[in-house]
Structures are given as structure tokens and as C-alpha cells.
Chains A and B, each alone.
Chain A
């Protein structure tokens, strides 16, 4: 695949936790304007890949190119400055900060003059957050925290949005709502999204393309529709799953 229109190119990335190998030479491409999903079982290394893109932990070998620049040796805060935002595994809301302060943290790299507009935009997407604006992050429900994590990531006006399991532990109705919002952001604003999911059915339906990760390796890739039809995918991630 040509890498010219790629916003993110990952080549041969290996990541270790101490001596334990988590990623064994991963190749992934994300083109500008795409929604790409990464599916796989628990412990396959999906979240590790998300964090490796942001330099925490760093890739031991391989190359990560974002927007034309190799970022595999760049410190985390500088990678974020270049236009990547992540809603990480476990949401990681600041529990002792208000919803508003969490959003301000998301916006801290952006010029203050955009703040009011951006705030209005995320409140339009997630009206629930507006009602909770002065409540402490730690007191929100799981679904509200997930909304806040995504909203906080959006406040930084990213070129690439990394979403790690936005559906985890949420009621089906809210999952549907969140997936619709991701789709809207992608089609209306051209936001590029790299989405990690265990909820393979929803994710593959939403995404333009998908990758399957098993034990730190990418084992399959293709368009969402193709992967949905593959027997291996159906057997491993869909049959009896949540659809």
C-alpha cells in the first residue's frame, strides 16, 4: 500500500513491558479521513498499540510516522502537540477535577479564543456533560465518563482521534449513540479516527477498514464489510457476541 495519503503509518513496531513482548512487529496504515478499527481479544495488545503511538511506552523497534514525521522517539507531550488525541483505556478522567476543568485540560494546547466555540460543540454532541459541568469527574457514571473522555480528546482539535474501547461497560443505547457521534464527526468534519474495539460487529460496521490483532500480531486486514464476512472473524469475534 502506498503511504503517501497516510496520516499515520506504523511499520514493524515492537513494544515490550520489561522483558514481556506486547507487540511483535505491527504494521498499520490510517489514511486521512478514514475510520480504521482494530479488533481483537482481551490482552491481544490493542491498547498497547494505542499507547505506543503516543510514545508511552515507546516502541523498541519500528517506525511510527504521523503527518510525515517519525514520532517513534518523540516525547508524549510533543506527539500530542502535533495533533493526536486519545480517549484512553479506562477513560482516565481526572477524578478530583470538575467536568469543565477536565475539558479545559483537553483544550490547554489550543488558543483560548476557540474555547467557547469548542465547548459549545462538545456540549451539543453530549448535552449530558453540560448538565454535569460543575460536577467532579469521579462522580460521573461510566457512560458520562466515556462521553467526557471523548469530549476532552475533541477539545484539543486533533487531526487523529484515538479511541480505546469507547463501548466498554456501556448500555447498548449509549454505545449506539457514541458510535453515531463518531460517524458524524468523521463524515461532517473529516476527522480521522483509529478505533480499538472488542465490540467487533459495531466497530466493523462503522469503520472503513479494519485490522485483527492476535497476540501482538496483525493477522488480518481489509474493509469493514470484508472482515465481517470472513469466517475466522465471525467465529472468533462475532458468533455469540454482542450484536
Chain B
């Protein structure tokens, strides 16, 4: 029981990070029907910006950790958003109205560009960040034949889960209640009509990339804090996992991306905990295949209706 609870906490933590990245995939897909394969690398860029900012702030002599964390978060969201915006502007917008595969190909190209750019400018070796947030609370303790086992909820995990929860609630409200969110949904349902009502479609699409990148930056920062090492290649696997999460939840669906992220995180952690670490990715992708066989549009996705 204690072991189960501990795995649950670990799974939710990892799932939060996947969920935040998955939102970027699902929103972009929703609005322009394209898989932004460079999104995982935007997440990677976000974690590098966070690391650089963090070290710069420490070098400047700021000692209050909460302040450093907060400033780092904001700075990395800001700059990563700028990256997201630029990628859309340079690589995707000129191809709008082109054949469907064209932006997909440039997306893969952008992914390679971002990886290589970071590899060349930052080096190929992993970058460490010593653990910053230590300690936690013990929720319960149990006795097994191998000794005692404690269920730990670290402060790090608390921060990750709470931040993700707050961001997801805020983000859902933004999409469902504000005029910007309404414009985004309008573009998603009928771009031509949205323009006929005065929506600047290009700007709305840009903002969608910006929002996705900002959330990916948060995920990148959390990844950095949680694992303590990053390199130029972390975007690939995290991106594939988050993309899987978005598809599992139903691509185009915002709650689906969040749910999918949590599920992928939980599957991975439980599989590692009860069976074997080596096959955790196989487990995650197998679940995806099984779900897609029985629910082709994902868990919360809407069936694709051909537009007339």
C-alpha cells in the first residue's frame, strides 16, 4: 500500500511535466492541424534558459531561493515564448496554405536545428544543477518484511504538482472564458469565419505557439529541478512522450492533454516500480496502441468530422 502510494506520487509528478508539454502539442494541432515536432526541443531550450538564468542570478549574489526560482521561471517563460514565436514565424507561417506535409517536414527540420544549435553553443555534455529544494514530508510509514517503508512527498514534488495544477486551471479559464480564448477556439473551428468576424488569425496562431512554449518552459524548468541534469537531447524523448500523451487524451482536446500526460507518467512509473525499468517506454506506447485501437480519437477527443 505504502509502495503504491509512493509510486502514485512519483507518477503524478512526472505526469505533470508531460501534461504541460502535451498542451502545446494539442493546442497547435487544434488550431492549425499540424504536429509541431519542434515542441519537445522548445521544452529543451526552456530548460537551458532556466539553467542559465538560475546560474546568472546566483552569480549576481541573490541568495533568497524562492526569489531566484520565481525570477528564473518568469525569464525562462518569456524567452522560451520568444523562441516559440520565432519558430512559427520563420518555419511555419510562410508555408500556411501549402500542402499538408510541408509544415510537418519543416517542424522536423526545426527540431534538428534547435538541437544542433544548443549542442554547438552549449556543448554536448550534460549540464548539472545540484539539488536546490530538499526535504519533504513523510505521509505515512509502514512495516514490511524487508524493514520499514515510508511514503515521502518531497517539497520538489509538491511544487511541481501545485504549479502544474494552478497553471492548468488558469489556462483552462483563459481558453473557456476570455475573449482571446474564444478567438482561439473560433480559429480552431472555422478560420475563415473567425477572420470574417474580425479575428486576426495569424496573430491568434502566433499567440497559441507563445502559450504552448511558455508552458513548455515551465516543464523544462521543473525537469531541470527534478532531475538535476539536462542536455541538448532531452527534448526528443520528452517530446515523444508528451506527444503520445496528447494523442492518448485525444489530440486537440485540452483536458485530454492533461489527462494523457498524467496517465503516461503514471504508467511509466508504475511499470518501473512493479515490473522493470527497461520496458517502461514500451509499456507507455503499448497502452497508447491499445487505446487507439478501441478509441481512435483518444480518450477525450472528438471524432474527426470531415469539413464540408
Say yes or no: B186 contacts A156, CB within 8 Å.
no
A interface secondary structure, majority? loop
Q: How far is the CA of A105 from the CA of B197 in the complex (A)?
A: 7
How many residue pairs, one in A and one in B, have C-beta atoms under 8 Å apart? 59
**Residue A77 CB within 8 A of the other chain:** yes
B interface secondary structure, majority? helix
B-side interface residues, number (CB < 8 Å): 19
Which of A76, A80, A96, A109 is the one whose CB lies under 8 Å from B189?
Answer: A96
Say yes or no: B182 contacts A101, CB within 8 Å.
yes
A2-10, A58-66, A86-94, A118-126: which lies at the interface: A86-94
**Residue A216 CB within 8 A of the other chain:** no
**Residue A185 CB within 8 A of the other chain:** no
- Chain A residues contacting B185 (CB-CB under 8 Å) are 94, 96-97
**Residue B8 CB within 8 A of the other chain:** no
- What is the chain A residue whose CB lies nearest that of B190? A92
Say yes or no: B197 contacts A156, CB within 8 Å.
yes
Question: Which of A77, A81, A95 has most B Cβ within 10 Å?
Answer: A77
Which A132-163 residues have a C-beta within 8 angstroms of B? 152, 156
**Residue B201 CB within 8 A of the other chain:** yes
Say yes or no: B197 contacts A106, CB within 8 Å.
yes
Contact with A along B170-194 (1 / 0, CB 8 A): 0000000001001101100110111
Contacts A97-B185, A104-B179; A109 near B198 (Cβ below 8 A): yes
Which of A56, A90, A95, A108 is the one whose CB lies under 8 Å from B197?
Answer: A108
- Chain A residues contacting B192 (CB-CB under 8 Å) are 56, 92
Q: How far is the CA of A160 from the CA of B55 in the complex (A)?
A: 58
A-side interface residues, number (CB < 8 Å): 23
- Chain B residues contacting A23 (CB-CB under 8 Å) are none
- Chain B residues contacting A90 (CB-CB under 8 Å) are 308
- Chain B residues contacting A104 (CB-CB under 8 Å) are 179, 182
Q: How far is the CA of A101 from the CA of B201 in the complex (A)?
A: 18
Say yes or no: A77 contacts B199, CB within 8 Å.
yes
Say yes or no: B198 contacts A88, CB within 8 Å.
no
- Chain B residues contacting A152 (CB-CB under 8 Å) are 197
**Residue A178 CB within 8 A of the other chain:** no
**Residue B195 CB within 8 A of the other chain:** yes
Say yes or no: A108 contacts B199, CB within 8 Å.
yes
Contact with B along A67-93 (1 / 0, CB 8 A): 000000001110011000010101010
**Residue B86 CB within 8 A of the other chain:** no
**Residue B119 CB within 8 A of the other chain:** no
Q: How far is the CA of A218 from the CA of B183 in the complex (A)?
A: 37
- Chain B residues contacting A77 (CB-CB under 8 Å) are 195, 198-201
- Chain A residues contacting B199 (CB-CB under 8 Å) are 77, 105, 108
Contacts A94-B185, A101-B182; A86 near B198 (Cβ below 8 A): no
Chain B residues within CB distance 8 Å of chain A: 179, 182-183, 185-186, 189-190, 192-201, 302, 308
A-B contacts, 10 of them at CB < 8 A, read A56-B192, A56-B195, A77-B195, A80-B195, A81-B198, A92-B193, A96-B302, A108-B197, A152-B197, A156-B197
Given A56-B195, A109-B197, 16 more contacts at CB 8 Å? Answer: A56-B192, A75-B200, A77-B195, A77-B201, A86-B196, A88-B193, A88-B196, A94-B190, A96-B189, A97-B186, A105-B194, A105-B197, A106-B197, A108-B183, A108-B197, A108-B199
